Amino acid sequence: MQVFRLRGAGTGAAADTTVPPSEQTVTPGLRKIGILGVTPRPIDSELIRALAAYGHVDGQTIDITYRWCEGDYERYPALLREMLELPVELIIAHATPAVRAAKAATSTVPIVMVEIGDPVAYGIVPSLMRPDGNVTGMSNGLHEYAPRG
């Protein structure tokens, strides 16, 4: 898998995750990131702040597009097609259904999974230590701390 590196500089800025997809545009020349999930989450704002702290500002050095299924998981394939047609260079997928849909949609665009319980048990990655393919990210990991019987 190719390493995705963001370049650029800037100051902090907050993203408006409430803009409907039809009104979102992609700025030519900027690295394009897609965020996919059910609805906007607090982690999205934290991600925007963290990226800005490293000089990656939405609309200045990167271009972030959001797609929300609003509870209808069957919308994920169409939302992913929209993202891939832009094209995004990185997908950040919230929760298991979004990660599964993203993995099914592309084997070449890197996918970062967030807010997922056990990606190994769900068949998304073969191992947390070596996720393989184009999927990486973090697990809530609560299953690892559950009592063993």
Query: Domain residue spans in the chain?
Result: 28-145
Q: Which of 6, 103, 116 is nearest to 50 (CA)?
A: 6
- CATH class as words, domain 28-145: alpha beta
List of residues 6+ apart from 104 with CB closer than 8 A: 77
pLDDT values of the chain reduced to their tens digit, one per residue, 149 residues:
333 344 333 323 333 344 444 455 556 689 999 999 999 988 888 999 999 999 999 999 999 999 999 999 999 999 999 999 999 999 999 999 999 999 999 999 999 999 888 899 999 999 888 888 999 998 876 555 455 55
pTM given for the model = 0.77
Q: Which of 55, 50, 58, 53 is nearest to 15 (CA)?
A: 58
